[in-house]
Structures are given as structure tokens and as C-alpha cells.
Amino acid sequence: MKAMLAGFLGVAVIGVVAYFGLHEIGFSSAEVYSGENVRLD
């Protein structure tokens, strides 16, 4: 049971770190798939 909870916690931590990390380096889907003619605010 302890290993399963540690796994769930690990997945949640990896997800949160990946979300914020990818947004910091400019790798969000809005920035990747938009062209020069698209205005992002």
C-alpha cells in the first residue's frame, strides 16, 4: 500500500513539475503551434 501511494505521489509531482517547466521554457502548445500571424496575449 505504501509503494502504491508513493507512486501516485510521484506521478503527481512529475506532472506538476513538467507543466510549469514546459511553460517556463516556452514549450506550451499555444507557442509551438502558432505562426507569426497569430497574436498571443
CA distance 14 to 22: 12
Per-residue pLDDT reduced to its tens digit, 15-36: 999 999 988 888 877 777 777 7
Q: Is the pTM of this model over 0.75?
A: no
Which residues lie closer than 8 Å to 28 by C-beta, 6 or more apart? Answer: 22
Task: Match 503527481 to its residue by C-alpha cell.
Answer: 12
> Which of residues 12 and 41 earns the better pLDDT score?
12
HSE toward the beta carbon, residue 25, CA cutoff 13 A: 6
- Mean pLDDT along residues 8-20: 97
Task: Report CA torsion sign: 8, 9, 14, 20.
Answer: positive
Which residues lie closer than 8 Å to 22 by C-beta, 6 or more apart? Answer: 28
